[in-house]
Structure 1
Amino acid sequence: MSQLVEFLPVLVFFLVYQWTDMVTATMALMASMSLFCLMEWMVRRKLTRARLLALVLVLLFGSATVLTRNALFIQWKPTILQWILAVAFLGSHVVGGGKVLIRRLMENNVTLPDAIWIRLNLAWVVFFLLSGAMNLYVAWSFSEEIWVRFKLFGLMGLTIIFALLQGAYMIRHAQENKPGE
């Protein structure tokens, strides 16, 4: 359900934009994100901090877009979220009891050496910084329609590819770290 909550509001935004305009699509994004987060909370009785942050940013920047009828506010949202996540992942090297954020998120699923966790975490920092910058570049350099397509297919696609590459990297190093080998 977690991946659905991330993908469906963006898909709703994209589809509504295809038939209407940015303001209506933004209202649909705000409503669908709120609904899917509410559904997730009802099922799991919790929302991750990242999900809650995404919801707050959608509501904040979405409201600014709707009230001012200016698409730049909602176009900034992905960058702000990505850069906040980059700071959180980077900050986890300093705070967090010696465990970087990616390790705290994934260590129940895989055992890796500390150095690998640090590399994975730093890779996410770089990814979040670059994807935030790419979002701004596309928002400022191309049409609104191109940005909407980039938001769904570009950023979402890059995130999926990056996560798969990280998974492959984890598998490779988890196999090296098996007891008795």
Structure 2
Amino acid sequence: MAGKKISPWVKGALDWGPLVIFFIAFNRLKDGHYEILGRDYSGFIVATALFVPLIAISTLILWRLTGKLSPMQIATLVLVLIFGGLSVWLNDPVFFKMKPTIIYLLFAGILGAGLLRGKAWLQLVMEEALPMEHEGWMILTKRFVGLFVALAVANEIVWRSMSDSIWVDFKTFGLPIILIGFIMAQAKLFERYGIEKTSEDSAPPE
């Protein structure tokens, strides 16, 4: 069942708002240490503690407005709650830094499992916005599997070998830019396998 349509501005604010707030909070708090309920926390952990409930609230609002959530949105929320919660509870940022790696490997594994069965499960998420022939979806899904594996490896390299500030910049700006650039690079695939709306769909009502 199709969900309700909402303003792209509202959807963008709900999708990106928590990450932007995390970025701002981290940069304001990163040089300090904060005592909360008798425990000493770094600015990274405090920013994480702010991000986790914000993404839960934004996802809930998105669900209430649209009436649906994609499997990727649900998986992302669950992993944020688990790994973000572990970082705050154990006062260890490593768990939160590992979250993108786990998310990307999970997505790659799910899409890869579908490919082994001859199915392009990415189509279930994106078909409404991007109608394509089945062959096009199979090719795009294979490319996304490779992308997600590469992003998982890149995240591991960055958080393990670079500073918290560089990792936060990479997560906030680097990963989205790579994803957007990847999608734009598929223009020829979309052009070759795209399906135009039928005249019945586009014709005005009689």
TM-score after normalising by structure 2: 0.77
Superposed CA deviations along residues 113-159 of structure 1, whole A, max 9, x for unmatched, are 43322111000000000001100100001011110111011111111
1:59 and 1:99 map into 2 onto residues whose CA distance is 30
Q: Match of 1:14?
A: 23
TM-score after normalising by structure 1: 0.87
Q: Match of 2:172?
A: 152
Q: 1:18 to 1:3 in 2, by over 3 A?
A: same
Larger Rg: 2
1:39 and 1:113 map into 2 onto residues whose CA distance is 33
Aligned 1:54-133 pairs, distance under 5 A: 54-95=76-117, 98-133=118-153
Q: Decide whether the 8 Å contact of 1:112 with 1:170 is kept in 2.
A: no
Q: Say which SS state the counterpart of residue 130 (structure 1) adopts.
A: helix
Please, which moves more after superposition, 102-111 or 3-12?
A: 102-111
Superposed CA deviations along residues 11-44 of structure 1, whole A, max 9, x for unmatched, are 1111110111111110111021011011111112
Q: 1:45 to 1:116 in 2, by over 3 A?
A: closer
- Cα drift, residue 103 of structure 1: 2.4
Superposed CA RMSD: 2.0
Q: Match of 2:201?
A: none
Identity of aligned residues (%): 27
Q: Match of 2:190?
A: 171
How many equivalent residue pairs? 175
Flag structure 1 segments of 5+ consecutive residues without an equivalent: none
2:19 and 2:53 map into 1 onto residues whose CA distance is 11
Q: Decide whether the 8 Å contact of 2:19 with 2:172 is kept in 1.
A: yes
1:70 and 1:90 map into 2 onto residues whose CA distance is 32
Aligned 1:37-56 pairs, distance under 5 A: 37-56=59-78
Greater helix fraction, Structure 1 or Structure 2: 1
Superposed CA deviations along residues 35-75 of structure 1, whole A, max 9, x for unmatched, are 10111111122222211111111111111111121111100
Residue type at the aligned position of 2:188: Y
Flag structure 2 segments of 5+ consecutive residues without an equivalent: 1-9, 30-42, 198-206
